[in-house]
Amino acid sequence: MGDSAIPAGLSTLALQPRVTVRRAGAPLKGGRCVVYWMQRAMRILDNPALDVAIEAGNLLELPVVVFFSVIPNYPNANLRHYHFLQQGLRDVAEDAAERGVGFVVRRHPDNSIEAFLAEVEAALLIGDENPCREPERWRRVLATRLRIPFWTVDADVVVPSQVFNRSYVLLHHFRPHLRAELPKYLVATPKADLLQPWKPRKGLAGFSLDLDITAGFAKLDRSVGPVDSFTGGTHAALKRLGEFVRLELPDYDEQRNHPEVRGTSRLSPYLHFGNIGPLTVALAVKKAETEGKASAAAADRFLEQVIGWRELAVLFVRHEPNYDNWECAAPWARKSLLEHAGDPRPHRYTLKQLEGAETADELWNAAQREMVTTGLMHNYMRMYWAKKILEWAPEPATAFEWAVTLNDRYELDGRDPNGYAGIAWAIVGRHDRPWFNRPVFGLVRTMMAGSTAKKFDAARYIRQNAPSADPGLF
C-alpha cells in the first residue's frame, strides 16, 4: 500500500512539530487498533503521545491500546526506581480505563513489542521520546524492523525539541528563542475523546500490577530500596503540584535556595518518570499567578526552572553524544581543568567513602545522606555536592564519573537529562562561563563550604540529615 492510501488527516497529524516519523507508510490495511508504546511518558493525563495515538485512532476508526514493557535490566535502574515505576503504572491502568483506552503490561521474557503488535493486529505504532542514549537506540533499531508505520512524540517538554533542533551554550542564549515559541505551546490542549473504546480480545495476556513487577529479576540491584518520601504516579504528582502551588509557590523566589525549608516543588521524580507533564505544571503555576495567589516574580523564577533549564538540558542531551562523561566539557573548562590537574587536593576520598558520606565536610555529608535516604537532594545542594566531588576526586574525568554513578543510583530523578546537565554545569562548565582562576577548579565556578553555609541555615540542614540510627544504612 503506497503513501497515497494514507488518510489526509493522518498525514497532517504526522507533520506536527512534536511528531517524528521513524518509519513512514500507510497504516496496515485491516489493522484492528493503534498501539501506543509507553516508555518515558507514564501517564494518561495531558500526554501528547497518547493524544496523537487517539487522534490517529479516531481518523482510522480504531481503538487505542497502551503497551508497557517491563525489562529486568533498564540501564542503571535498581529496586528503588522499579518500585516507584510500579506505583505509577497502577495510576496509568486506572486512568486508561476511565478514558476507554486499553492498557497492557508485559514482563520479560514475554514482552516483545513486535510480538504484541502482531497479536493485536496493530495498524500504526506511536511511541514517546527519550533523548538518552539507550532508549533512543531502541527506537532506532525497532524502526528498522517494523512493517507498520512508527511515529514518536516529544511528550515531555513544553516546546518540542525539533523546533530548535540545536543546543545552546548558555541559558541566556536559549531564553529569547524559547520565549518566542512559548505562546504557541504554553496553552491547554483539549482532551480528545476516543470514538472507538478498546475491547480486549479474549485471551489477551497481561501482567497483573497486583504482583511485584521485579519478581524473578535475579540481577536487579536490590541494595537500594524504596523510600517512603514519595509515592509514584499521576495521582500523587497532582496532589504534590496542588500543595506546591498553594503552600510553597508564593514564597518560591525567596525560599527556593534554602534546603533546610520545604520551598521547592519536589516534582522532579514525577517529571522524570512522566507521571506528570511540564505543561500541566506550568499551567497550574500560571493560573496561580493570574488569580493573584503567587507573584509574577515567583512564577517566572519557577517557570525558568521547569521550562527554561529543563528544556535546555533536554537539548544538551539530544545533541551531545558525551552528555554523561567528561568529554562533554566546555572547551575553556577542559583546558583550565587540565592545567590544574596536578594541583594538590585538600582531601582525597574514594567513591566508597563518598557513597557512605564519610568526608570531613558535614554539609556535604548531609546532602549525600538526604539523597540516599529520601531519593532526592535539594537542587541548591546538588551544585555544591558535585563541585566538592571535583575538588576531592583524583582528576575531573573521575569526578564526573563518580557524580553520575551516585546520582543515577540514589536519585529518583536520576538517569535524566536534568541530572546530566547539572553535573556538566558543576564540574565541566557546560552552560556556564569562566570565573576566577582557582587551584583545582581552574576557571570553573567554585562553591566553598564557608560561603555556601552562610546563605541558609546550614546547621539546621545538617541536623535534618544526621546519620541514621540504622547501622546498616551505609
pLDDT of residue 121: 98
For residue 333, is it within any domain?
A: yes
Taking the C-alpha atoms of 50, 276, 133 and 75 in order, what is their torsion angle to the nearest 10 degrees?
-110
In the structure grid, which three cell numbers stand for residue 274, read together? 512522566
Domain boundary among 301, 319, 337: 319
CATH number for the domain harbouring residue 239: 1.25.40.80
Count of Cβ atoms closer than 10 Å to residue 235 Cβ? 18
CATH number for the domain harbouring residue 116: 3.40.50.620
For residue 198, is it within any domain?
A: no
For residue 201, is it within any domain?
A: no
In the structure grid, which three cell numbers stand for residue 407, read together? 546520582
Where b means 16+ CB within 10 Å and e means fewer, 379-407 reads bbbbbbbbbbbbbbbebbbebbbbbbebb
Taking the C-alpha atoms of 306, 309, 311 and 314 in order, what is their torsion angle to the nearest 10 degrees?
-120
Residue 375's SS3 state is coil
One domain for residues 276 and 361:
no
One domain for residues 173 and 117:
no
One domain for residues 273 and 403:
no
One domain for residues 168 and 314:
yes
DSSP state of 438: B
Q: 369 and 467 in contact (C-beta within 8 Å)? A: yes
Taking the C-alpha atoms of 388, 393, 396 and 402 in order, what is their torsion angle to the nearest 10 degrees?
-90
pLDDT of residue 6: 82
CA dist., res. 449 & res. 459, Å (int): 12
One domain for residues 161 and 148:
no
pLDDT of residue 7: 85
CA dist., res. 100 & res. 64, Å (int): 8
For residue 43, is it within any domain?
A: yes
One domain for residues 177 and 309:
yes
Domain extent for 69? 3-155
CA dist., res. 235 & res. 276, Å (int): 9
CA dist., res. 288 & res. 151, Å (int): 35
CATH number for the domain harbouring residue 373: 1.10.579.10
Q: 474 and 357 in contact (C-beta within 8 Å)? A: yes
For residue 469, is it within any domain?
A: no
For residue 115, is it within any domain?
A: yes
Longest CA–CA span in the chain (Å) reads 70
Helix and strand totals (H; E) in the chain:
20, 6
- What are residue 104's DSSP bridge partners? 67
Domain boundary among 101, 133, 155: 155
One domain for residues 374 and 452:
yes
Sorted by sequence, the CB contacts under 8 Å of residue 449 that are 6+ apart come out as: 361, 363, 364, 388
- What are residue 399's DSSP bridge partners? none
One domain for residues 93 and 31:
yes
Count of Cβ atoms closer than 10 Å to residue 31 Cβ? 17
pLDDT of residue 8: 87
One domain for residues 10 and 143:
yes
pLDDT by residue for the chain (474 residues), tens only, comes to 344 478 889 999 999 999 999 999 999 999 999 999 999 999 999 999 999 999 999 999 999 999 999 999 999 999 999 999 999 999 999 999 999 999 999 999 999 999 999 999 999 999 999 999 999 999 999 999 999 999 999 999 999 999 999 999 999 999 999 999 999 999 999 888 999 999 998 999 999 999 999 999 999 999 999 999 999 999 999 999 999 999 999 999 999 999 999 899 999 999 999 999 999 999 999 999 999 999 999 999 999 999 999 999 999 999 999 999 999 999 999 999 999 999 999 999 999 999 999 999 999 999 999 999 999 999 999 999 999 999 999 999 999 999 999 999 999 999 999 999 999 999 999 999 999 999 999 999 999 989 999 999 999 999 999 997 343 333
pLDDT of residue 473: 37
| pTM of the model as a whole | 0.96
Task: Count structural domains, the chain.
Answer: 3
Residue 102's SS3 state is strand
Q: Is the peptide bond before 109 cis (omega within 30 degrees of 0)?
A: yes
In the structure grid, which three cell numbers stand for residue 451, read together? 560561603
One domain for residues 338 and 367:
yes
pLDDT of residue 191: 87
pLDDT of residue 128: 98
One domain for residues 56 and 134:
yes
CA dist., res. 45 & res. 39, Å (int): 15
pLDDT of residue 2: 42
For residue 223, is it within any domain?
A: no
Count of Cβ atoms closer than 10 Å to residue 297 Cβ? 12
For residue 224, is it within any domain?
A: no
Backbone angles phi, psi at 42, to 5 degrees: -85, 75
CA dist., res. 295 & res. 297, Å (int): 5
One domain for residues 164 and 149:
no
CA dist., res. 221 & res. 225, Å (int): 9
Domain boundary among 100, 134, 155: 155
